Chain A
Amino acid sequence: MNRKEAPEKRKPSTRGGSLMRLRGLVRKEFLQIMRDPSSIAIAFLMPVSLLLLFGYGVSLDAKHVPIAIVVESPSRDTAGFTGAFEQSKYFDTEHYDTMRAAKQALRNHRVDGIVRLRSDFAQKLQSGATAPIQVILNGVDANSARLVTGYVEGVWSGWLSDRARQQGRTLEMPVEVEQRIWFNSEVRSRNFLVPGLIAVIMTLIGALLTAMVMAREWERGTMEALMVTPVHIREVILGKLIPYFVMGMGGLALSVLMALYLFEVPLRGSPWVLTAASALFLLVALGMGLLISIAARSQFVAGQTAIIVTFLPAFLLSGFLFDIQSMPVVVQGITHAIAARYYVAILQTVFLAGDVFSVIWPNALALLVMAAFFLGVSRLKARKRLD
């Protein structure tokens, strides 16, 4: 790409002229948006389709886990135990006659686990000795396996206390845990996944909307045409930012409405805090796209960079799925450079806990700093090339 020297320094212009030029630039950008409908698709189609797909598709709540049951010598006691599994909504039971067949099923992914009652189960149970129940799980997906372990324990302890009650006793554990899960008492994973997904989707929208726009002007040579006009670089950047900001906020409003009314995520904080934080985050995301666009110079490299730096970091390092505090210190340091991290913290708090300003302020401040950084550096880099 040939870089031409910019014309001699322009004289500062009057305020009124600046506003008029800005309006012209914004209008031009809107016209361009209308001509290539892909920006409209990015702002509106993308959040709707992704949120629909993920809101319904992504769930960590396992139900109907297929499990093999092997009873080596059936009796009334074993029937009571397997009955508890059959009634559980978490399991789909399948009976196997031999352990060999059950293991084969586990190896072939037909079942996720095996519960085995050995031939001496009933006898040990009656004699008062502790009867072992063998449980084998497919541990490849450790998180699911741990969840299933919890479900198995739930069925087991339910069966124990039912049995004790039938025999006219109560089964007292020395220590009993009474658990309270605040902010999400029914443990709907959708309640935390949907706000997190909004953060991921907004990262994509923000960066995608602007990643190409400056690079496109340079690539097509229209930037040089802009340079010979009295337009100031600040106005060029603002002219790019304003239309996409408006579109991004539209996409955001759509996502929030879907979260509230379609996925029934409660909004316990105020809509104003949500809007302000989202506007701030959108500025960061747009600023990041703009910087990519300015630094990359060609659309090809800008597109590649956008793919690399937006989705996977926002998905894996934002704390939306994986707990940041449990990451190694170095990786925790890296997460501080991911804007979605701050937005996820704000979203999960505003949606589920309410306006907790001691969480909101520090994160909003971090977003403000990042927005200033991206837009400031964009401005500097763009000017350097013009002069």
Chain B
Amino acid sequence: MFRPILALMQKEFLALMKDKKSRFTIVIPPIVQLLVFGYAATYDLTYVPLAVYDEDRSAASRELIARFTGSPNFQEVARITRQDQIAPLIDRKEVLVLVHIHPQFSRDLFTGDSGKVQVIVDGRNSNTAMIALGYVRSIVTRFNLEWTETHGGPTPPARLETRAWYNPNLESRWFIVPGIVGLLTLVVTMLVTALSVAREREQGTFDQLLVTPMRPVEILLGKALPGFIIGAGEATVIILLTVFWFQVPLRGDILLLYIGLFLFLMSAIGVGLMISSLSVTQQQGLLGAFMFLVPAIILSGFTTPIANMPTVVQKITLLNPLRYFMVVIRGVFLENAPLHLYLQQFWPMAVIGIVCLALAGWLFRHRIH
């Protein structure tokens, strides 16, 4: 039984790796993309262009402004003197945040009223806007605390002591980069599997394969194993880069990560081969690959939490293998999560994998046009 499978595997590897362009496409871009995306994909803002409109021009207002200009997140790019200068600056995206200090600011501050500061934010990307506003608020909160300490005033009767587990500095890179491991592993397996049967069908060589004494199971294994080997290899390189290049802490058991990776590869290859054996042309295979890849990534919890989705969409995500793998990767990397949390992710991936692989094998023979 093994000889024919090995021969088919060898042929699949040749088909993938013989062509220089194909070899390049499978090996280089995922690694380059990890480096680029790893740096690009962060919600933390390091450059918020800021404009200041100070109508008060007092020592107090200057002190407040200094907190903004001294912050690593803000960069003052304009200082304006008239109301009508505000709109063009924001419309043209020259500034994201405008801090407007009212003329009575310092008078109110000293008489015990609240000093009013108006903050205008460009809300075209409302997520960025909210993050920038968060920075503004934390600057003002600290200013308030220090002001009451030095100048007296009512202190709040209770205060929050907030702490974040697993990621104390709330670095979004720690969340995103392990996610990219899952993303790129999925892309690589799609590259290897989604077009493989479709190409043979289009070229007619699949019919030849079917009339050989090989059983569908053997064909399936021969088609699936190269994807496994390439996917596991690239995933390993990407995991190493995540740990040693991006220095994301790896706190859990690497064995659990690899069990998860194994099951994830099985399910992804299953889906890829199923798409491929459903397609009559490579164009259809490519369409199928995208129709799976894009929703799988966007609805995986990679950037936007699944908990925020409406119930129907949350139900749909249960079919998405990447969703489970994301929990495993982040569990192993950041949380060192309890074992049963992994088990809850393992079995759905196994079920998806087995069902899709079986379907793909069945389709080999039953979808002949």
Residues of A with Cβ closer than 8 Å to B?
36, 38-39, 41-42, 46, 49-50, 53-54, 56-65, 81, 106-109, 112, 121, 124-125, 128, 130-147, 149-150, 152-153, 156, 160, 163, 169, 171-185, 187-189, 191-192, 204, 208, 211-212, 216, 296-301, 303-309, 311-313, 315-317, 319, 321-323, 325-328, 330-331, 334-335, 345, 348-349, 352-354, 356, 358-359
Contact = CB atoms under 8 A, between A and B. Distances in A.
A308 B291 CA distance: 14
Contacts of B114: 172-176
Interface of B: 19, 21-22, 25-26, 29, 33, 36-37, 39-49, 64, 90-93, 109, 112-131, 133-134, 136-137, 140, 143-144, 147-148, 151, 153-168, 170-172, 174-175, 183, 187, 190-191, 194-195, 199, 202, 281-287, 289-291, 293-295, 297-299, 303-305, 307-310, 312-313, 316, 327, 330, 334-335, 337-338, 340-341
B313 A56 contact: yes
A155 to B, nearest CB: 10
Contact of A296 (B21, B144, B157): B21
A313 B212 CA distance: 42
A299 B19 CA distance: 12
A128 B157 contact: yes
The 7 nearest A-B residue pairs measured at CB: A139-B164, A139-B167, A184-B123, A176-B114, A181-B123, A142-B170, A57-B313
Contacts of B124: 183-184, 192, 348-349, 352-353
A317 B21 CA distance: 24
Contact of A176 (B19, B49, B93, B117): B117
Contact of B143 (A59, A153, A174, A182): A174
A182 B123 contact: yes
A327 B40 contact: yes
A326 B45 contact: yes
B167 to A, nearest CB: 4
A336 B58 CA distance: 42
Nearest to A351: B124
Contacts of A169: 154
23 contacts: A50-B294, A61-B308, A109-B341, A112-B307, A130-B155, A132-B161, A136-B165, A138-B165, A142-B167, A163-B157, A171-B156, A176-B114, A178-B119, A184-B126, A299-B195, A300-B19, A315-B298, A325-B45, A325-B48, A327-B42, A334-B36, A349-B124, A353-B124
B118 A50 contact: no
A323 B125 contact: yes
Nearest to A161: B156
Nearest to A115: B160
Contacts of B21: 296-297, 301, 305
A42 B43 contact: no
B162 A204 contact: no
Given A57-B313, A303-B289, A323-B45, A136 B163 contact: yes
Nearest to A216: B283
B242 to A, nearest CB: 15
A92 to B, nearest CB: 10
A38 B112 CA distance: 69
A144 B305 contact: yes
Contact of B40 (A299, A317, A354): A317
A130 B90 CA distance: 40
A176 B115 contact: yes
A185 B121 CA distance: 10
A52 to B, nearest CB: 10
A316 B157 contact: no
B158 A321 contact: no
Nearest to B156: A160
Given A156-B158, A175-B109, A303 B286 contact: yes
A177 B137 contact: yes
A308 B162 contact: no
Contacts of B341: 108-109
B88 to A, nearest CB: 8
A212 B42 CA distance: 34
A337 to B, nearest CB: 11
Contacts of B285: 303
Contact of B127 (A172, A189, A315): A189
B38 to A, nearest CB: 9
Contacts of A315: 297-298
B109 A177 contact: no
Given A38-B281, A133-B161, A208-B286, 17 more contacts: A54-B298, A56-B309, A56-B313, A109-B341, A112-B307, A133-B160, A140-B167, A175-B64, A175-B114, A175-B144, A178-B118, A179-B118, A184-B123, A299-B195, A311-B294, A316-B40, A353-B91
